[in-house]
Amino acid sequence: MAHIIVITILAILFTSIFAKEFIVGDDNGWTPYFNYQAWAKGKEFVIGDKLAFNYPVGAHNVFKVNGAGFQECIKPPLSEALTTGSDVITLATPGRKWYICDVAKHCAVGNQKLIITVLPQSTSPAYESAMKFVVGDDNGWTPYFNYQAWAEGKKFVVRDKLVFNYPVGVHNVFKVNGTGFQECIKPPLSEALTTGSDVITLATPGRKWYICGVANHCAVGNQKLVITVLPQSTSPMSAAPILATEFIVGDNDGWKTDVDYQAWAKGKMFMVGDTLVFKYEKGSHNVFKVNGTGFQQCIVPPPNEALTSGNDVITLKAGGLKWYICGMGQHCEVGKQKLAIMVYDSMAPAPTPVPEKDSATQGMVAYGLMAAAFGVLLIFTL
């Protein structure tokens, strides 16, 4: 019993010591026409942290919604609105969290909405053991450097950090998918990291691709990096698989012709780590993953790329648009048996580094409180 009490005390103490408060939008506050996904990128939200939404009273509000409410800007009952102008939300549970403003068309037109992923809290010292990799080491982030040779032999694990160092204004960093990496396709400028010392926390396992979008630095200077991130399977701080969602494509209709799969997908939030399940009568249909052109024109890939089990499960491993078709007969062209979705990355890279003295101070406080807790243990065991 005493041990349980002490563990509970420790959990509470660690949560309170290491909790952070995030001012949503920083100096911009909570307002339309601001890219809150770009703001959230590079931040790590953990149970116990707080979100503060600052805005002029009466001009905006804050609603917590679900994935469909986020996508379609569906307003909950007014009684659920936060309206103080300085609304503070404590992140109490892990998983995806969605927030919108419902004033006028601030959500639908002004894109005044935020999605984050909250990670579990832990007192495990594994949090401190994450590795920090300075990309390119002393060379930094620059054209005409062999980043694949640099990455070779390194072990990248969930919660490790990549640091991209470069002169501000000379380069930038984009996270892309495999095609974007191969063809040096630059995402929208709003997704660029541009601080000159960009820190990315590797929040999920799998392949990760990064490029520089300035001039021809990627295409000609080969300024790009691909790595494989391994799961941190032995640590309770690793990304929790329980947060993933399984989607049965078409729900009760399954995978067949003459179903509006875009209507089915509307309002759903697909995230890296989620799974799609295509259910159909074996031999009647199949599933091909294609590109945008293959989707539009119903171009069937080679037969060896088909999924044919009748219960095909696809894990969404990277963000971006994903396209799927049935290659049987004219099921795609005539029966519209095809699906396009947008997959979002987990929003959990890199908190702002804590200065050394602050980190040390926190460590001293933590150990002091731990010592006090063990004193409690001694009292209960005597």
CATH number of 2-123+351-381: 2.60.40.420
- Bridge partners of 341? 322
Tell me the one-letter amino acid at 127.
Y
Task: Report the sign of the C-alpha dihedral through residues 75, 243, 44, 92, in that order.
Answer: positive
Q: What is the pLDDT of residue 348?
A: 38
Between CA 107 and CA 341 the distance in angstroms is: 21
116 three-state secondary structure: strand
pTM exceeding the 0.95 threshold for the entire prediction: no
Instruction: Say how far apart CA 324 and CA 261 lie, in whole Å.
Output: 10
CATH topology for 244-344 is Immunoglobulin-like (2.60.40)
For helices 2-18 and 356-381, what crossing angle results, to 10°? 160
Q: Which residue has the tokens 């000159």?
A: 196
Averaged over 282-305, what is the pLDDT? 94
Average pLDDT over residues 216-235: 83
The 10s digit of each residue's pLDDT in 123-141 is 444 444 678 899 999 999 9
pLDDT of the residue at 94: 79
Q: What is the pLDDT of residues 152-185, one digit of tens each?
A: 888 888 888 999 999 999 999 999 988 889 899 9
pLDDT (tens digit, 9 = 90+) per residue, 69-92?
888 899 888 888 999 999 999 888
Lowest mean pLDDT among 56-65, 167-176, 369-378: 369-378
Q: Is the pLDDT of residue 3 over 80?
A: no
Same fold, 126-230 and 244-344: yes
pLDDT at 286: 96
Residue 175 identity (one-letter amino acid): K
Tens of pLDDT, residue by residue over 315-336, are: 888 878 899 999 999 999 999 9
What does the domain layout of the chain look like in residue ranges? 2-123+351-381, 126-230, 244-344
| Alpha helices (H) along 155-195 | 178-183
What fold, for 126-230?
Immunoglobulin-like (2.60.40)
Instruction: State how far the Cα of 102 lies from the Cα of 123, in Å rounded to an integer.
Output: 38
